[in-house]
Structure 1
Amino acid sequence: MSDKQSDLDKNQPKRSTKKLTGYLVLSVVAMFGFGFALVPLYDVMCEALGINGKTNTVSVVQPRGMQPDYSRTVRVEFMSHIKPGMPWQFVPEERVLEVHPGEVIQTSYIAKNLSGNSLVGQAVPSVSPGMGATYFNKVECFCFNQQPLEGHKSAEMGLIFYIEPDIPESIHTLTLSYTLFNITSEVVRESSSAEPNAIASN
């Protein structure tokens, strides 16, 4: 009996270790799945709450014959946010504009690199309320491209947009917000990986 009991005692830690390993693997898989699902869940939540609507990420062409609706205006508010690790000033040239639906508007954001190093920024737009994002069209936008800026330099970043005339009359105000990210390290990494390929092709 003592020998059998001893064998059972020896096997017990192995079983516990296997069980713990199994739990850890399941936890990692669950965390990965949750992280993968965060983006669509976030999109669904934003759509349901009517916030942070996505705007077009490529330029659009104003439809021919589209006439501005001068009988009403939509208030457009401009905001800016800078992610940590991005030593820039980044502000809209104008905080508020009263816009006629169908009218093409030109404005800009002003960026200044406060560091002594050349950096690359990427602006990500959003519009609220979310249902209004589908009526907000950007003809030209600095957010379509990466924005390099030398140290202690400033730049005017242009934006041309229009609001579709059929925007619901219940929408009186749209807020356009840009979040600025520092993507310098990613750009440098991509450039470094591309150089060997270019050399090999030659």
Structure 2
Amino acid sequence: MTERHEKPSDDRSASTARRGVIIAVACAAFAVGMVGAAFASVPLYRMFCQVTGYGGTTQRAEVASGGVSEKSVTIRFDANVAAGLPWSFSPNEREVRVQLGATHQTSYRVKNTTDRTLTGQALFNVTPEAAGVYFNKIDCFCFNSQTLKPGEEADMGVLFFIDPAMLQAEELKDAPAITLSYTFFPIDNPDPVAEAPVDGARAKKGRES
């Protein structure tokens, strides 16, 4: 008895075609979504970091902690200035030991070493990065941009506490030291400054040339 080999049915061909169309539409939608995400990536990333503490981003608190733990943790302070902003910047205390949940105030010293008024914005993070979600700032100079007149210097404060819930995180249960690091970036003078500030005579000569 001879076997009969039937050709694929029209229904099967139509189903395959529909799947192809669906895949094509899905790919197009994905591409459009990626373009939209690119425009929204910066604010969304910042929001994500603030909520989760991702990348060592600290949290912002309106009030002090509701309780203080007997446990304490070492906080270290670090300061940096990006190229293009000729300021001196350093913490007034390099390290402190604070109780979890206790509010502590510290400050950084900053000075504009030029003969121009300059504005900077401090960006920050903490290490270990996992500690970011437990590091709460009530007040901080980093919340706003800072403008310094020629030669002006100032103490800029930070008021913070560490959430006692930190000890519930597996990687933080031993209360490792936390480093709070700031970097000031120029926001009104994008031209990089490669040399130390020049004196008035040289500056005047440079402007006339």
Normalised-by-shorter TM-score class: 0.5 to 0.7
Query: Secondary structure in 2 aligned to 1:160?
Result: strand
Give the conservation status (yes or no) of the 8 Å contact 2:54–2:132: no
Give the conservation status (yes or no) of the 8 Å contact 1:51–1:129: no
Partner of 2:108: 109
Shift of 1:81: 1.1
Q: Confirm whether residue 153 of structure 1 aligns to residue 152 of structure 2.
A: yes
Q: Confirm whether residue 175 of structure 1 aligns to residue 172 of structure 2.
A: no
Provide the C-alpha distance between the structure 1 equivalents of 2:164 and 2:88, rounded to a whole number of angstroms. 34
Provide the C-alpha distance between the structure 1 equivalents of 2:177 and 2:41, rounded to a whole number of angstroms. 29
Partner of 1:60: 62
Provide the C-alpha distance between the structure 1 equivalents of 2:184 and 2:55, rounded to a whole number of angstroms. 15
Cα offsets for 1:175-194 (capped at 9, x unmatched): 100010011248xxxxxxxx
Residue type of the alignment partner of 2:137: K
Q: 1:84 to 1:171 in 2, by over 3 A?
A: same
Residue type of the alignment partner of 1:68: V
Instruction: Map 1:128-147; keep pairs closer than 5 Å.
Output: 128-147=127-146
User: Structure 2: which 5+ runs fail to align?
Assistant: 1-34, 168-172, 191-209
Q: Which runs of 4+ in 1 moved over 2 A?
A: 35-40
Shift of 1:60: 2.7
Partner of 2:16: none
Cα offsets for 1:127-172 (capped at 9, x unmatched): 1111101110000000001101001110110100000112122232
Provide the C-alpha distance between the structure 2 equivalents of 1:145 and 1:138, rounded to a whole number of angstroms. 13
Provide the C-alpha distance between the structure 1 equivalents of 2:92 and 2:86, rounded to a whole number of angstroms. 19
Shift of 1:52: 4.2
Give the conservation status (yes or no) of the 8 Å contact 2:124–2:180: yes
Name the count of aligned residue pairs. 145
Residue type of the alignment partner of 1:54: T
Provide the C-alpha distance between the structure 2 equivalents of 1:67 and 1:53, rounded to a whole number of angstroms. 23
Give the conservation status (yes or no) of the 8 Å contact 1:124–1:143: yes
Give the conservation status (yes or no) of the 8 Å contact 2:90–2:110: yes
Provide the C-alpha distance between the structure 1 equivalents of 2:144 and 2:61, rounded to a whole number of angstroms. 11
Provide the C-alpha distance between the structure 2 equivalents of 1:165 and 1:89, rounded to a whole number of angstroms. 34
Q: Which has the larger radius of gyration?
A: 2
User: Structure 1: which 5+ runs fail to align?
Assistant: 1-31, 187-202
Shift of 1:59: 4.5
Partner of 2:164: 165
Give the conservation status (yes or no) of the 8 Å contact 2:54–2:133: no
Partner of 1:76: 75
Identity %: 40
Provide the C-alpha distance between the structure 2 equivalents of 1:122 and 1:59, rounded to a whole number of angstroms. 20
